[in-house]
Amino acid sequence: MQQIKPTPSGDHVMQPDDLSGAAVFLAFEDSKTVHGLDLIVDGGVAAVQ
C-alpha cells in the first residue's frame, strides 16, 4: 500500500463534499468576474509537489 504524503490539509482524504464550496461559489453571482482561472481543489496536494 502506498503511503500518502503529508499535505497542508493533514491526513484528510478528499471527499465529494469538499468540492461543494468551490462549485457553489462558481454558480453564484460572486464569481461573475472570475475568468480564466484554474481553481484547484485538492487539499493542497498541488502546492507540495
CA distance 48 to 7: 7
Biggest CA pair distance of the chain: 44
Domain that holds residue 48: 1-49
Residue 16 burial (CB count, 10 A) = 6
Any idea what DSSP says for residue 26? H
The pLDDT tens digits of the residues spanning 1-49 come to 666 566 666 677 788 888 898 899 989 998 999 888 888 888 777 776 6
Q: How many C-beta atoms surround the C-beta of residue 44 within 10 A?
A: 15
pLDDT for position 27: 92
Residue-level pLDDT at 41: 86
Per-residue model confidence (pLDDT) at position 3: 64
Predicted confidence at residue 28, as pLDDT, reads: 92
What pairs with residue 7 in β-bridges?
Answer: 10
pLDDT of residue 11: 72
Q: What is the pLDDT of residue 1?
A: 64
Structural domain total, the chain = 1
Query: φ and ψ at 16, to 5 degrees?
Result: -55, -35
